[in-house]
Homo-oligomer: A and B are copies of this chain.
Amino acid sequence: MQIVIIGSGNVAYHLAKAFTRKNIPLKQIYGRNTSDLKEISEELGIPYSTDQLEDAEVYLICVSDRSVEDISKIITKKECLVAHTSGSLAKEILMGEYRKSSFYPLQTFSKSKDLEYKNIPFFIETENEEDKNVLMHLASQISEKVMESNFEKRKYIHLTAVFACNFVNHLFSRAKEISDSQDIPFDYFLPLIDETVQKIHEIDPRSAQTGPAVRNDTRILEMHEQLLKGESLEIYKTINHSIKKMYEL
């Protein structure tokens, strides 16, 4: 099958790398950023272009959510399958007369970090059964976790990821702000953070909850509120309230 990847960012790079490792040939990697494309092309041995989009059977659009609609217009071919890789866009955002689909890898990608691709879940949505089989097969070659998912479900997947990944990272930022203010190295908290995450590999997070809110330890909760201000105080109150509600305290 002839596959072209559109984009030169982290998702494009890692998908290209995952396919290459499994000896799935890519016909081209196409995008706007010449230096990024050149780098990927040299590392993975895939032809690249910034102006001549190759003819292919499958196009995977790996660009930021805001650019998907625009870039989708450059594919003028009708007899082909085009997939975007976004968790938050309907497949109908794609503007062309081709068959539309979504090929969503649930992971946070950094260029420099190597990943175990087989653990990355892929969520697939297509217009018909045949396209579904094509994309499910493609994803299965790099990942062990491939699921069909319509846009409605994909929205919730992305929303779950926002809580479990984006919001968690922001809590780390606010935590570091507190420790920085007291000259306590944030590194000191990494073993605790690692253990917190390790735990939920084994038990339901609901059963793993610890801390003053779930103990309803008002003395400590009040002491903490006096140490905080601004957004951190708002977060403190909101999450404690949510913990108390969850455990009916």
Give chain A's interface residues, CB within 8 Å of chain B. 65-66, 88, 106-108, 110, 113, 115-116, 119-121, 145, 147, 153, 155-157, 159-176, 178-179, 181-182, 184, 188-202, 204-206, 208-215, 217, 220, 223-224, 227-228, 230-232, 234-236, 238-239, 241-243, 245-246
Contacts and interface: CB of A to CB of B under 8 A. Distances in A.
13 contacts: A88-B212, A107-B192, A108-B195, A108-B210, A156-B178, A160-B175, A162-B212, A163-B172, A163-B232, A164-B193, A167-B211, A173-B246, A235-B239
A45 to B, nearest CB: 26
B156 A191 contact: no
B175 A164 contact: yes
Contact of A232 (B106, B188, B199, B242): B242
B121 A188 contact: yes
Contacts of A214: 166
A85 to B, nearest CB: 15
A249 B220 CA distance: 33
A160 B179 contact: yes
A189 B241 CA distance: 25
A246 B231 contact: yes
Nearest to A202: B113
Contacts of A193: 164-165, 168, 197, 200
A113 B202 CA distance: 10
Contacts of A189: 106, 160-161, 164-165
B164 A192 contact: yes
A231 B242 contact: yes
Contact of A181 (B156, B171, B195, B206): B156
Given A159-B227, A166-B211, A242-B234, A107 B175 contact: no
B156 A227 contact: yes
A208 B164 CA distance: 14
Contacts of A204: 176
A170 B232 contact: no
A10 B215 CA distance: 16
Contact of A200 (B172, B215, B217): B172
A223 B202 CA distance: 32
